[in-house]
């Protein structure tokens, strides 16, 4: 089997709601889902998900190779771009290709990827994470009620701008999930919006009212010293790492004792997750993947010894993707379809270059100008989370 080419496609995920975090809210109910299809001379194709803008530059590293050599090809792709560096969009491209190669490897073996990777169980424990910052309190209750119907006992809330707004929403999620547990696990995600003093004060104020399982990305992703200090000031565990690209970015945090829970983004691929999980395991730390469309890293999560829990952001899948997963008993139940379990209906998707993306000016992926520099929350954001964030005068 040899790699012969690729197709770059695109679809959307329809959330049926606005999604976002303290940094901003999406302008509509749909978000783009890039799809990469890696072709082989055997007719078997591998599917990878996630942005892959650099595929034209990286693909020559694997063209003509046997996709079953996926681990070696991962390092070959890193070597291919070593002068310019492999972070950012390049790392995302490598992750999408890597995902497709693992899909091919498992398909060639005619078994699901979780089986190829040596997992014993197909169940992956999870937590509900609705990206609910732009929803009303009533909508939050309804959304997490749907997760509770599937047995979820843990949930994450986005916030960090206004305590009077965040506390009731945490209590809503706790109450809804209490139907499945007397003490549901509550997580709080600030998405790097605080400085060190703000983080300590804000988390301490929450902990006067309730117990937090973890606080996520309380500080900038690289602030090892700050997160290490924060660990000694709050009861909640410190979780971070979803935006780190490469083991070299994790080492300073782990060496500083900055993390209790090591997070990994799905969009960076299967091999990256496995390596980070091994690094975390060497430090006696649990790992928790941050979700993406179709939860492709769930197959790898099922196979590592230090998985804590897996983020589940929605109970439905993108248009044109038939995904062999179920949500029940508070987690993901992986199926037996070969590979990562995705069937692609190309009649429902489009070539990636057929629609020119419009760069967002606001939203969760744009860091606000005054993040971590605000003394108070702006009323316009509290009253209307979809309003553009304005600097404080």
**76 is in which domain, residue-wise?**
3-113+349-354
Shared domain check, 281 and 186: yes
Shared domain check, 258 and 292: yes
Q: Residue 130 domain-assigned?
A: yes
Q: How far apart are CA 85 and CA 72, in angstroms?
A: 18
Number of domains in the chain: 2
Q: Give the CATH number, domain containing residue 313.
A: 3.20.20.120
Shared domain check, 71 and 164: no
Q: Residue 298 domain-assigned?
A: yes
Shared domain check, 299 and 155: yes
Shared domain check, 201 and 57: no
Beta strand 3-14 with 20-21: parallel, antiparallel or unpaired? Answer: unpaired
Q: Residue 360 domain-assigned?
A: no
Would you give per-residue pLDDT tens digits along the chain (393 residues)? 999 999 999 999 999 999 999 999 998 999 999 999 999 999 999 999 999 999 999 999 999 999 999 999 999 999 999 988 898 999 999 999 999 999 999 999 999 999 999 999 999 999 999 999 999 999 999 999 999 999 999 999 999 999 999 999 999 999 999 999 999 999 999 999 999 999 999 999 999 999 999 999 999 999 999 999 999 999 999 999 999 999 999 999 999 999 999 999 999 999 999 999 999 999 999 999 999 999 999 999 999 999 999 999 999 999 999 999 999 999 999 999 999 999 999 999 988 776 556 667 788 989 988 899 988 776 545 445 555 544 433
Shared domain check, 259 and 227: yes
Core vs surface per residue 174-199: b (16+ CB within 10 A) or e: bebbeebeeebbbbbbbbbbbbbebb
Shared domain check, 153 and 106: no
Shared domain check, 129 and 32: no
Q: Residue 135 domain-assigned?
A: yes
What are the residue ranges of helices labelled H in 260-341? 270-282, 298-301
Shared domain check, 78 and 192: no
Shared domain check, 181 and 66: no
Q: Residue 155 domain-assigned?
A: yes
Residue whose token pair is 């890597």: 98
Q: Residue 380 domain-assigned?
A: no
* CB-based contact 179:203 (threshold 8 Å): no
Shared domain check, 317 and 265: yes
Q: Give the CATH number, domain containing residue 77.
A: 3.30.390.10
Shared domain check, 179 and 265: yes
């Amino acid at each position: 089997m040899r790699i012969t080419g690729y197709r770059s496609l695109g679809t959307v995920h329809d959330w049926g709601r606005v999604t976002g975090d303290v940094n901003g809210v999406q302008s509509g109910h749909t978000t783009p889902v890039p799809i990469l299809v890696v072709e082989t001379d055997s007719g078997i194709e591998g599917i990878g998900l996630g942005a892959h803008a650099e595929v034209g530059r990286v693909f020559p590293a694997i063209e003509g190779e046997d996709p079953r050599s996926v681990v070696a090809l991962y390092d070959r792709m890193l070597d291919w771009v070593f002068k310019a560096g492999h972070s950012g969009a390049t790392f995302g491209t490598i992750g999408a290709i890597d995902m497709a190669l693992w899909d091919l490897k498992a398909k060639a073996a005619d078994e699901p990827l979780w089986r190829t990777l040596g997992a014993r169980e197909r169940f992956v424990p999870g937590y509900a994470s609705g990206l609910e910052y732009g929803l009303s309190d009533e909508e939050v209750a309804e959304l997490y009620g749907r997760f509770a119907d599937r047995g979820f006992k843990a949930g994450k809330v986005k916030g960090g701008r206004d305590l009077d707004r965040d506390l009731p929403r945490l209590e809503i999620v706790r109450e809804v999930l209490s139907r499945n547990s007397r003490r549901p696990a509550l997580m709080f995600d600030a998405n790097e919006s605080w400085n060190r003093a703000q983080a300590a004060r804000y988390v301490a104020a929450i902990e006067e009212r309730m117990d937090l399982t973890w606080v996520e990305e309380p500080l900038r992703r690289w602030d090892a010293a700050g997160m290490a200090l924060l660990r000694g000031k709050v009861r909640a565990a410190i979780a971070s790492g979803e935006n780190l690209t490469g083991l070299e970015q994790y080492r300073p945090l782990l060496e500083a004792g900055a993390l209790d829970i090591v997070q990994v983004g799905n969009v960076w691929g299967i091999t990256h997750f496995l390596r980070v999980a091994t690094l975390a395991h060497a430090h006696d730390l649990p790992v928790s993947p941050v979700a993406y469309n179709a939860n492709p890293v769930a197959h790898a999560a099922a196979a590592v010894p230090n998985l804590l829990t897996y983020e589940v952001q929605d109970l439905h899948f993108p248009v044109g993707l038939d995904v062999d997963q179920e949500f029940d008993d508070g987690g993901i139940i992986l199926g037996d379809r070969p590979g990562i379990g995705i069937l692609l209906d190309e009649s429902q998707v489009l070539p990636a270059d057929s629609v020119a993306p419009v760069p967002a000016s606001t939203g969760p992926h744009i860091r606000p100008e005054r993040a971590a520099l605000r003394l108070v929350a702006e009323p316009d954001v509290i009253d209307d989370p979809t309003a553009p964030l304005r600097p404080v005068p």
